[in-house]
Chain A
């Protein structure tokens, strides 16, 4: 596969915009890769520009009506206008905070993954009514509570030298 094809494939596979941006930067500067991108003039040709638009004279009268004499008078008297509908740009956390949050999230995801794999791969969790339960040479033929068969679980924590036997019965 040619160089630009590999880069584009990588670009598609990367899930995080910050990583994609690194590859995008490369593709913008690499002569081979940049051939896959529209240039500024191409983009200008397909988008609408200010010069394409005539008849914008009606904007000011509409704005003037919207501003209104009351608002002008309010402003000239020094009163503040209410700004409930105004949206300021959202404040963004500092880069170090964003990185810390991203790393924490990644660590948590890895921990969850490892925990799940280890839990599912545990060979020593077994159970069953009165049936034979066995692990690592430890055999339990039956377990009874009040002379009745009971559910039995043998748990062998992998990092521990002990075996836990859990017997339960619904009363």
Chain B
């Protein structure tokens, strides 16, 4: 069953068919959300909300476009909402600073937990730069496709991408060896 058939089935009330779409995209979507938001719990919440929103509005999906790009667009906008409303970045770091969980104790201060990105990366790159980088490096999208998701001009997306690559290069050269999540 291809994507269009799955969408048709969902539109005719077969909610179970939507599971195939969720299973196909939950990994890339959660990874993007983690890279934008910085922590996994928020990322999973946003991901679930994005899937629910997508299901509710499947009838508006333009079938000439990519389902993946559409899902990423919804997810990205929800991530921005979360960042704006709750400023999760700051609270995450404050919590981590005053109440380190046992799992943090035997790791270096900059070492990221599995499924989280490093503090240095979060502090150096903006959410838009991280989004552009994740879409470029993990999903192989070009600047035009990234621009469609971020809702900006292709030239602006290219600048986000460029700035992000430059900042990561600087961080790596400064010896932030624990930037990696693996």
Q: Are B12 and A43 closer than 8 Å at their CB atoms?
A: no
Q: Is the interface of B mostly helix, strand, loop or mixed?
A: helix
* Residues 138-154 of B at the A interface (beta carbon under 8 Å): 138, 148, 151, 153-154
> Nearest Cβ distance between residue B7 and chain A, in whole angstroms?
12
Q: Are B159 and A42 closer than 8 Å at their CB atoms?
A: no
Which residue from chain A places its CB closest to the CB of B70 in the assembled complex?
Answer: A89
> Nearest Cβ distance between residue A114 and chain B, in whole angstroms?
29
- Interface flags for B93-116 (1: CB within 8 Å of A; 0: not) read 000000000000000000000111
- A interface bracket (residues with beta carbon within 8 Å of B): 35 or more
Q: Are A50 and B30 closer than 8 Å at their CB atoms?
A: yes
Residues of B within 8 Å of A, CB-based: how many? 66
Q: Are B137 and A40 closer than 8 Å at their CB atoms?
A: yes
Q: Are B57 and A56 closer than 8 Å at their CB atoms?
A: no
* Residues 34-74 of A at the B interface (beta carbon under 8 Å): 36-40, 42-53, 56, 58-60, 62-64, 66-67, 69, 71-73
Residues in B with CB closer than 8 Å to A36 are: 166, 169
Which residue from chain B places its CB closest to the CB of A19 in the assembled complex?
Answer: B155
Q: Are B130 and A47 closer than 8 Å at their CB atoms?
A: yes
Asked whether B83 is an interface residue with its Cβ less than 8 Å from the other chain, the reply is no
Asked whether B34 is an interface residue with its Cβ less than 8 Å from the other chain, the reply is yes
- Interface flags for B19-44 (1: CB within 8 Å of A; 0: not) read 10011001110110011000010001
Which residue from chain A places its CB closest to the CB of B51 in the assembled complex?
Answer: A63
> Nearest Cβ distance between residue A78 and chain B, in whole angstroms?
9
Which residue from chain A places its CB closest to the CB of B40 in the assembled complex?
Answer: A53
> Nearest Cβ distance between residue A52 and chain B, in whole angstroms?
6
* Residues 75-108 of A at the B interface (beta carbon under 8 Å): 75-77, 80-81, 83, 85-90, 92
Interface of A toward B, CB cutoff 8 Å = 17-18, 20-22, 24-25, 27-28, 36-40, 42-53, 56, 58-60, 62-64, 66-67, 69, 71-73, 75-77, 80-81, 83, 85-90, 92
Contacts A38-B172, A62-B48 known; 15 new A-B pairs at CB < 8 A: A20-B162, A38-B165, A38-B168, A39-B165, A46-B117, A46-B121, A46-B171, A47-B130, A48-B117, A53-B40, A59-B44, A60-B19, A80-B59, A81-B57, A87-B74
